[in-house]
């Protein structure tokens, strides 16, 4: 059939329609047609490069690896945009099915590598978080150990000082011993500070004597203790 400057005919056994242009001037003035021609040419060139890459990949000694990076990006964009068919592709170069398989394998390899990279990233992230948590735990443990050490050292020092003052200043010794015992009741304390027998006996004497309240008001240095731990008073208000 003849329609103006175009001849339309069917391509045998393909179902395709072939349009022939009868005049060159029409080609020069038909901007959209020129755009189609350029697009077809670029698409065909891209397919032939893909088919050649596939051929090199399938050689016994591979001359080409799977597509990756920007090369794979362009190939996937080309496939999704133009949706090539075997009938179209084989007009330019045979091996369309193999080329599409090659492209699919390249995409699958990218997905596999991305999964590995994501897993590695998660592992590194978890490891980093674990190390940070461990560092925080170590720091907190150090602070707690320091507090416990200082508390126990102070408790032990009070206890030792109380024992040292037992024969010199028993009143102060009793106060220090009681402070040590109170500190030893703290959850931080592992040092069991026990009142010495001397301090215990001193408390007993204080409680048994009717004048223990008076003793509490006296200068501790005016209180004397005999070897058997009995108490005597000396020079209280200048009196024997």
pLDDT for res 60: 78
Strand partners, 10: 17
User: To which residue do tokens 């907190």 refer?
Assistant: 140
CA distances from 142 to 129, 131, 139, 155 (A): 20, 16, 5, 20
The H helix count followed by the E strand count for the chain is 8, 5
- Reply yes or no on whether the pLDDT at 181 is more than 90: no
- Reply yes or no on whether the pLDDT at 174 is more than 50: yes
Angle between helices 31-57 and 96-164 (to 10 degrees): 70
Q: How many Cα neighbours within 13 Å face the side chain of 181?
A: 13
Tokens of 238: 């200048």
Q: Which band of pLDDT confidence, cut at 50, 70 and 90, is reported for residue 240?
A: very low
Q: What are phi and psi of 41, to 5 degrees?
A: -65, -45
For the segment 155-177, the average pLDDT, to the nearest whole number, is 75
3-state secondary structure of 233: strand
pLDDT per residue as tens digits for the range 132-151: 999 999 999 999 889 888 88
Question: What does the alpha-carbon distance between residue 173 and residue 11 come to, in Å, rounded to a whole number?
Answer: 118
pLDDT for res 25: 66
For the segment 77-85, the average pLDDT, to the nearest whole number, is 93
Q: Which band of pLDDT confidence, cut at 50, 70 and 90, is reported for residue 4?
A: low
pLDDT per residue as tens digits for the range 47-70: 999 999 999 998 877 878 999 999
Mean pLDDT of the chain: 76
Instruction: Identify which of 153, 138, 64 has the alpha carbon closest to the alpha carbon of residue 103.
Output: 64
Instruction: Identify which of 229, 236, 177 has the alpha carbon closest to the alpha carbon of residue 211.
Output: 236
Tokens of 62: 């591979």
């Amino acid at each position: 059939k003849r329609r103006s400057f175009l001849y339309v005919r069917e391509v045998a056994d393909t179902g395709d329609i072939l349009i022939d242009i009868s005049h060159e001037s029409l080609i020069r003035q038909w901007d959209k047609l020129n755009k189609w021609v350029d697009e077809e040419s670029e698409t065909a060139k891209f397919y032939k490069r893909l088919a050649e890459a596939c051929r090199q990949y399938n050689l016994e000694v591979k001359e080409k690896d799977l597509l990756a990076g920007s090369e794979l990006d362009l190939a996937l964009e080309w496939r999704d945009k133009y949706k090539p068919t075997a009938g179209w592709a084989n007009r330019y170069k045979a091996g369309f099915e193999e080329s599409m398989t090659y492209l699919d394998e390249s995409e699958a390899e990218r997905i596999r590598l991305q999964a590995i990279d994501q897993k590695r990233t998660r592992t590194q992230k978890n490891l980093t978080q674990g190390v940070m948590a461990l560092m925080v735990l170590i720091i907190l443990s150090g602070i707690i150990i320091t507090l416990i050490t200082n508390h126990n050292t102070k408790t032990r020092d009070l206890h030792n000082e109380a024992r040292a003052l037992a024969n010199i200043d028993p009143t102060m010794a009793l106060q220090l011993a009681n402070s040590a015992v109170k500190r030893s009741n703290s959850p931080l304390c592992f040092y069991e500070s026990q009142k010495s027998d001397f301090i215990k006996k001193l408390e007993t004497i204080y409680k048994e004597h009717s004048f223990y309240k008076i003793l509490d008001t006296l200068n501790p240095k005016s209180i004397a203790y005999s070897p058997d731990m009995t108490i005597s008073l000396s020079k209280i208000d200048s009196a024997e």
